[in-house]
Amino acid sequence: MSVTEKSEIAAAPQRESASARPRWQVMLIRPELMTFVLLIIALIVASSLSPYFLDIAYILDSFTLSAELAMVALVLTIMIIAGEIDLSPASGMALAACTFAYAQQAGVPIPLAVGVGLLTGLAMGLLNGILVIRFQLPSIIVTIGTLIFYRGLAQVIAGDQSIRVPEWFIGINRVLVFGIPVPVLVFVILSVVLGFVLSSTIYGRQIYLIGTNPIAARHAGIRANRIKMSLFLLIGITASIAGMMTASRLGSVRYDIALGGELQMVLMAMLGGTYIFGGRGSILGTFLAAWLLVIVSTGMIVANILPAMQLCVLGVLLIISIIATNFIYSRTQR
C-alpha cells in the first residue's frame, strides 16, 4: 500500500501526463486483496485464540450455517453493482420456506411443493422489480417495506409455530460430496457461474455500465430496466432456493428463519469490496468475504468470546472495509 502512496505523491505534479499504472498494480491493488489479507489475518487470530478452531471439517460445517445467506449475497453483489439494492431476500427466504413447508404439509408432493417455493421466490422478485422499475421508487426503501411485508406474510402462513418437513428431506448439510457439504459446494459452484457471467459476458459488462453511468448505458442502447428486472427475479429465486435449503438443514420451518440475514448479506458484499453506489465490485470479493465472516464468527464462538464482541468486530470490520475500499478505488481508478 505504501508503494502506491509514494508513487502517487511523485506522480502528482505531472498527473495529467502520467502513464498508465503498471499492470501488477492494477492486478493487485484491488479491494479483494484487502478481503484476502483480512481473511488470512482472521485465520491466524482464530487459530491462536482456540486450539479447537483449525479443523477443516468443523470450518466447513460452520460454513453450511451461512452458506444459504452467502448464496444470496452473491446475487446481491450483482444487484448492488447494477446500482440497486435488495434488503428483502432474507425475509424472502423465510416466506419461500414457509410456502414450501405449508404446501407439503397440506399434502402437495414434495417436487410440486418445491415448485411452490420457487414460484414464491419469483413472485417476490417480481413485486420488488415492479415497485422499483415500473413505479421508479428507491429500491432501498421499497425493499425495507417488503422486508417487513414478506416476513409478515410468512408469519401469516406459518403462525408462530414451526412446520416439520419429511425425514428424507432433512439434512442437505450432512450430505458430503468429496468430503464437502452440499450447501458449501452449491455456494462455490454458484460463485464460479456468477463470477463468469459478471466478468466475461456482455450481460455482465452491461451490468457494470448500468451501475457506473446509467445515462451512458441508456445512450449505449442497454435495456437497463430489463436487466434490473432479471436481477430482481434472480435474487428472488435464489432466496427461495436458499430458504428451502435452510428448511432441509433445520428439519423444520418457522417464520423467523434468517431473521436479520439482510445485514449479513450486505456485510458480505461490502467486505468484498463492492461499492455501495454501484458500478464496482466482484463475485470473488463476496466469495472471500463470506469465508471471512464465517471464520471471524466461528473463531470467536469456539473461543467462547462474548457474542457482544462479535457484534463490535463485525461493525468495525464493515467500517474498515469500506474505508479501505474507498481508498483503493480513489487510488487506482483516477
Site for other proteins in 224-243 (CB under 8 A): none
Binders of other proteins in range 52-111 (CB under 8 A): 52-53, 55, 58, 61-62, 65
Q: In terms of Cα–Cα distance, which of 288, 294, 298, 299 is closest to 321?
A: 288
Stretch that binds other proteins, among 149-157, 198-206, 216-224, 279-287 (CB under 8 A): 149-157
User: Considering the rule CB under 8 A, would residue 305 count as an interface residue with other proteins?
Assistant: yes
Query: Among 226, 307, 333, 334, which residue interacts with other proteins (rule: CB under 8 A)?
Result: 307
Instruction: Determine the interface stretch with other proteins among 193-201, 202-210, 213-221, 306-314 (rule: CB under 8 A).
Output: 306-314
**Is-contact 95 153, C-beta < 8 A?**
yes
- Listed ranges 10-18, 207-215, 237-245, 252-260: which one lies at the site for other proteins (CB under 8 A): 252-260
Q: What's the CA gap between 143 and 308, in Å, rounded? A: 28
Phi/psi for 146 (5° steps) reads: -75, -25
d(CA 163, CA 86): 27
Please state the closest distance from residue 322 (CB atom) to other proteins, in A: 5
Residue with cell 450481460: 203
Residues 262-281 that bind other proteins (CB under 8 A): 263, 266-267, 270, 276-277
Stretch that binds other proteins, among 17-25, 212-220, 244-252, 281-289 (CB under 8 A): 244-252
Least distance in Å: CB of 111 to other proteins?
23
Indicate the residue among 29 and 69 with the shorter CB distance to other proteins: 69
Q: Does 166 bind other proteins (CB under 8 A)?
A: no
Cα–Cα distance measured from residue 97 to residue 38, given in angstroms and rounded to the nearest whole number: 34
CB contact at 8 A, 183 and 173: yes
Helix (H) or strand (E) holding 134: none
Is residue 256 a contact point for other proteins (CB under 8 A)? yes
DSSP 154-180: HHHHHTTS-EE--GGG--GGG-EETTE
The closest of 108, 203, 97 to 150, measured between CA atoms, is: 97
d(CA 28, CA 152): 45
Tell me if residue 253 falls in helix, strand or coil.
Answer: strand
Q: What is the x/- site pattern for other proteins, positions 122-141, by CB under 8 A?
A: ---------x---xxxx-xx
Whichever of 135 and 178 has its CB closer to other proteins, that residue is 135
* Residue 237 or 270 with smaller CB distance to other proteins: 270
Residues 11-40 that bind other proteins (CB under 8 A): none
State the Cα–Cα distance between residues 147 and 265, nearest whole angstrom: 13
Asked whether position 1 contacts other proteins by CB under 8 A, the answer is no
Residues 6+ apart with CB under 8 A from 140: 85, 87
Phi and psi dihedrals of 164, rounded to 5?
-80, 150
- Nearest to other proteins of 142, 241 (CB atom): 142
Please classify residue 258 by burial: count the beta carbons closer than 10 Å to its beta carbon, then call 0-12 exposed, 13-18 middle and 19+ buried: buried
Do 34 and 324 meet the contact criterion of CB atoms below 8 Å apart? yes
Select 53 or 195, whichever has its Cβ closest to other proteins.
Answer: 53
Q: Which one of 1, 41, 216, 312 is in contact with other proteins (CB under 8 A)? A: 312
In the list 144, 185, 188, 234, the residue contacting other proteins (rule: CB under 8 A) is 144
Q: Is 309 in the site for other proteins (CB under 8 A)?
A: yes
Nearer to other proteins by C-beta: 233 or 265?
265
Q: State yes or no: residue 47 binds other proteins (CB under 8 A).
A: no
Judged by DSSP in three states, 53 sits in coil
Tell whether residue 319 is a contact of other proteins (CB under 8 A). Answer: yes
